[in-house]
Amino acid sequence: MSVYESRYRPLREEKVERAFMDNAKIMTRFEIGKSISGKWSKIPLIFAAFFLFIALTSLPALLILPEDDFVTNLEFFSSFFLTPREGPGSLIWLHVAIINSGLIATDLGDNTFNLYLTKMKLKTYFISKVIASIVLTFLGLPLVAFAYFIVAIYKRGLPIFPFNWNLIGQYFVILSKLVLFTIFIVFLYSSVILLFSAYTKKSINAGVLFIVYLIASSVIFDGILYDTTGFEPFRLLSPLTSMYIVFTNFFTREVISTGQFPTLEKESPDLVPYAVGMVILYALLSLFLTYKRLQFLRRD
């Protein structure tokens, strides 16, 4: 029986001694290509393109606003794609659940995990999966947020002739916020999905468990325990709520000259440092448990 049955596709590079980073680069490219080429992977990418199209159709209304109002709206609508719990940003869950869920689960289901380890070290395999998961997560709505930001500035006109230091500084602040929060949210999602993918042999199971975990933790800790007791630290036990707390305190949530979107209140500002720490802890713990699971599977 051929070892290349089912969905397994062999790495085309010859088995030769390569440096650690070279092997990781080869495996990462392979995983990204395999995940994007899946028959269901196009769905979240189509959704992302659709939301970008909708946002760009409403852009002319923003371009005619005064400079300060334009900057405020630019920050709101660019960050809108990254909203953890509501808005189009919540569709990042769908994107990650569909595209990233098979990164490890597919190898386990096809019995090719140990075959890969004959070609590379476990550390190389693990790091390549982490990098692939990060890249795949970014390719959805996080990328759309940056695309909207760039197109909006280009359409408004670059503040070069005449040179406007103040406006450039404001653009840089918004861009810095987008970069930092994108790293924040992508790191969490891409880490947690790998943990679920390492504990099942079917990618659909990993995707469903990922979504159920995010929603259930929010309902239990934020919707039940916090609402019942009023004890705010309970909110930190939900990754989605922790990200939402950071989000509402990090970005300007006020929209000027539009009646379509309400101003969002800042959520639990005193908990922001703890929320940042909890999200980082969730991501690091997920990666640690994933690696331990892979070590167990290798011995098994």
pLDDT surpasses 60 at 114 = yes
pLDDT in tens, 198-243: 999 999 999 999 999 999 999 999 989 999 998 999 999 999 999 9
Percent of the chain with pLDDT over 70: 87
pLDDT of residue 68: 84
> Dmax of the chain from CA atoms?
70
Helices (H), the chain: 20-36, 42-57, 59-63, 67-80, 92-99, 102-109, 113-117, 122-138, 141-156, 165-197, 203-217, 227-229, 239-250, 272-299
Contact 104, 194 (CB under 8 A): yes
Tell me how far apart the alpha carbons of residues 51 and 148 are, in angstroms, rounded to a whole number.
10
Mean pLDDT, residues 83-101: 83
Cα radius of gyration (the chain): 21
pLDDT of residue 168: 87
pLDDT of residue 6: 46
Tell me how far apart the alpha carbons of residues 185 and 148 are, in angstroms, rounded to a whole number.
18
Question: Token digits for 287?
Answer: 């990666």
Tell me how far apart the alpha carbons of residues 297 and 293 are, in angstroms, rounded to a whole number.
6
Tell me how far apart the alpha carbons of residues 120 and 13 are, in angstroms, rounded to a whole number.
12
pLDDT band, very low/low/confident/very high, at 88 (cuts 50, 70, 90): confident
pLDDT in tens, 125-169: 999 999 999 999 998 888 889 999 999 998 887 776 677 788 888
Cα dihedral 198, 217, 282, 247 sign? positive
Beta carbons within 8 Å of 158's beta carbon, 6+ residues apart? none
The structure's pTM equals 0.85
pLDDT of residue 256: 52
Tell me how far apart the alpha carbons of residues 233 and 230 are, in angstroms, rounded to a whole number.
9
Query: For residue 107, which of 83, 135, 84, 126 has the smallest C-alpha distance?
Result: 126
Of the listed ranges 46-55, 164-173, 277-286, the one predicted with least confidence: 46-55
Tell me how far apart the alpha carbons of residues 149 and 272 are, in angstroms, rounded to a whole number.
25
pLDDT of residue 5: 43
Contact 212, 112 (CB under 8 A): no
Cα dihedral 79, 206, 35, 16 sign? positive
pLDDT of residue 25: 80
